[in-house]
C-alpha cells in the first residue's frame, strides 16, 4: 500500500472485492473535472454527470453558506449510505508522532454508492483535508468556473478579469 503524503492527517481508503486502495486526490484535479462537467456535461456518462452535478452543488453551497450546522447535517445525511470500517494503519503508511499506529477509515465500495453518496464522500474528503480553503468561483457571468486562488481573487483567469472590466466600463458608459 502507498504511503501517506507528508503532513497528511487522514488516509482515505476504499475497499472493493477484498482489495484496498488508497484514494489519492488533489483538489486541482477535482475542480478541473467539475468545471469540465459544467461546460460539457454531455460528454460524460449519465452517472458521472450526476456525481459532478452534486459536487457542483456542494461546492456552491460551501462558498455561499460556509460550514454551518445545516450544511453539515445535509452532508452527513448524504454520506450515511456509505459504509466504513476501521483499520489500524502501519506507521509506514500513516506516520504518527507517537510510536503508536493511527486509525484509518475504509469505505466499503463493493456496492457502488449512489451518485449522491459518492459526491458527498468525495466532497467531504476535500473538506476535512482542508483543500477547499482556497476554493473560489469566477465572478464573470457566463464563466462561473471554480478555481483555487488567494483570498482576494475574483476571476479564474486574467482573461475573465479583463472581460469583466470591459463589461463594467461599458455598463458605466451606458449609464452616463
Residues that bind Zn ion (CB under 5 A): 138, 140, 143, 145, 156, 160
DSSP secondary structure string for all residues of 123-139: HHHHHHTTTTTTEEE--
Instruction: Check if the beta carbon of residue 142 is closer than 8 Å to that of residue 106.
Output: no
Residue (39 or 83) nearer to Zn ion, CB: 39
* Closest CA relative to residue 67, chosen from 59, 56, 78: 59
Q: Which three cell numbers stand for residue 172?
A: 458605466
Nearest to 55 by CA among 24, 16, 29, 21: 29
Say which residue the cell 465572478 belongs to: 139
Nearer to Zn ion by C-beta: 6 or 142? 142
- Minimum CB separation from Zn ion for residue 140, in Å? 5
What is the nearest approach in angstroms of Zn ion to the Cβ of residue 143? 3
Place of cell 454531455: 42
Nearest approach in angstroms of CB 27 to Zn ion is 17
Nearer of residues 38 and 93 to Zn ion, judged by Cβ: 38
Q: Comparing C-alpha atoms, which of 128, 123, 148, 126 is closest to residue 138?
A: 148
Question: Residue 94 or residue 156: which is nearer to Zn ion going by CB?
Answer: 156
Closest approach of Zn ion to the CB of residue 138, in Å: 3
Amino acid at each position: 500500500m502507498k504511503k501517506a503524503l507528508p503532513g497528511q492527517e487522514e488516509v482515505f481508503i476504499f475497499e472493493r472485492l477484498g482489495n484496498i486502495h488508497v484514494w489519492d486526490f488533489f483538489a486541482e484535479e477535482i475542480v478541473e473535472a467539475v468545471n469540465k462537467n459544467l461546460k460539457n456535461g454531455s460528454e460524460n456518462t449519465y452517472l458521472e454527470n450526476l456525481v459532478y452535478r452534486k459536487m457542483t452543488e456542494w461546492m456552491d453551497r460551501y462558498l455561499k453558506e460556509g460550514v454551518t450546522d445545516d450544511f453539515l447535517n445535509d452532508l452527513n445525511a448524504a454520506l450515511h449510505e456509505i459504509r466504513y470500517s476501521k483499520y489500524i494503519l502501519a506507521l509506514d503508511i500513516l506516520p504518527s508522532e507517537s510510536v503508536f499506529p493511527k486509525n484509518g477509515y475504509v469505505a466499503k465500495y463493493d456496492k457502488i454508492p449512489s451518485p449522491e453518496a459518492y459526491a458527498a464522500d468525495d466532497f467531504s474528503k476535500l473538506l476535512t483535508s482542508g483543500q477547499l480553503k482556497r476554493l473560489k468561483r469566477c465572478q464573470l457571468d457566463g464563466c462561473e468556473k471554480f478555481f483555487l486562488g488567494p483570498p482576494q481573487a475574483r476571476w479564474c483567469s486574467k482573461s475573465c478579469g479583463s472581460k469583466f472590466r470591459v463589461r463594467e466600463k461599458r455598463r458605466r458608459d451606458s449609464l452616463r
